[in-house]
């Protein structure tokens, strides 16, 4: 649908030139012209499945076609926790965290595996009125393997001073427990006031070290999980669900 302006230019006393300028009424994310009449309210999240509404551009069309495969069952992965289940669970987890009344809260996410979980959890915390500071540390115990090496390497440290602060330590999986225990001990030695641990997946296995997650989104038997930030040999992080690889 379009709307326009009709302009009348008087060239000679008896000659009039009419110019009609057409204005687009739809909101298009792909061209600057469309932004004249951007009907999308500030802060509105455009669902990925509808980003193709500005169908005048090939890229938008491609995005729509691609989005049709997002989150859909695929033959190489069994879905364990769907995107909807995760989203719903994170809302309740955020309410649980809000009830703890933590002060000067800093969320410390352990990379790489927790980056999507942490990002969604932080936005869920915002929904319940919290304003945490956020930092990251990169730890490695698996490399490209699916079995823990037994030692934890710190590849990148936090940049904030955790001294005297309430910390929410976020990780993707609690398995042997070495990674979470290492991070917790490190932040505790630096004088954090309190440290709560929160993991996406708590594997129901015997831990190599004595640690429990204060909060977990899901419990899961001893299978190697991928998706929602978690990888197998650097693959599958982009999947919006948590699943198990059945054929590589
Ligand atoms: P833990 O030190 O053995 O408890 O293992 C924790 C770390 O290993 C997590 O931070 C994950 O990055 C990784 N990990 C453990 N199990 C899995 C899995 O099933 N899928 C992906 N990563 C895993
Ligand atoms: Mg990890």
CA of 174 to the centre of ligand 1 (A): 6
* Residue 112 in contact with ligand 1 by CB distance below 6 A: no
Q: How many CB atoms lie within 10 A of CB 60?
A: 18
CA of 191 to the centre of ligand 1 (A): 26
Could you tell me the domains of the chain? 2-67 (no CATH), 77-245 (3.40.50.2020)
- Output the six-digit token pair for 175: 């398995």
Enter the pTM of the model.
0.74
CA of 96 to the centre of ligand 1 (A): 24
State yes or no: is 175 an active-site residue.
Answer: yes
* Residue 198 in contact with ligand 1 by CB distance below 6 A: no
pLDDT in tens, the chain (248 residues): 445 667 767 767 767 777 666 654 444 333 333 332 222 333 333 333 322 233 333 333 444 344 456 667 788 999 999 999 999 999 999 999 999 999 999 999 999 999 999 999 999 999 999 999 999 999 987 655 666 667 898 999 999 999 999 999 999 999 999 999 999 999 999 999 999 999 999 999 999 999 999 999 999 999 999 999 999 999 999 999 999 999 86
d(CA 41, CA 44): 5
């Amino acid at each position: 649908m379009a709307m326009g302006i009709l302009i009348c230019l008087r060239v000679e006393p008896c000659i009039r030139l009419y110019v009609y300028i057409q204005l687009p009424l739809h909101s298009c994310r792909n061209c600057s012209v469309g932004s004249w009449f951007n009907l999308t309210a500030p802060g509105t999240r455009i669902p990925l499945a509808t980003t193709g509404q500005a169908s005048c551009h090939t890229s938008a069309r491609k995005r729509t076609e691609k989005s049709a495969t997002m989150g859909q069952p695929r033959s190489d992965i069994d879905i364990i926790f769907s995107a909807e289940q995760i989203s719903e669970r994170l809302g309740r987890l955020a309410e649980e965290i809000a009830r703890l009344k933590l002060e000067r809260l800093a969320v410390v996410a352990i990379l790489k595996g927790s980056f999507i979980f942490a990002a969604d959890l932080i936005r869920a915390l915002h929904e319940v009125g919290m304003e945490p500071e956020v930092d990251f540390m990169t730890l490695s115990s698996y490399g490209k393997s699916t079995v823990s090496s037994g030692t934890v390497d710190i590849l990148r440290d936090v940049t904030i001073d955790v001294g005297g602060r309430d910390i929410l330590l976020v990780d993707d999986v609690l398995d042997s427990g070495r990674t979470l225990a290492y991070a917790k001990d490190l932040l505790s030695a630096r004088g954090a006031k309190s440290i709560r641990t929160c993991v996406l997946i708590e594997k129901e296995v015997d831990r190599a070290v004595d640690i429990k997650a204060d909060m977990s989104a899901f419990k899961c038997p001893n299978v190697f999980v991928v998706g929602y930030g978690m990888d197998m040999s650097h693959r599958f992080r982009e999947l919006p669900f948590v699943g198990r690889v059945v054929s590589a």
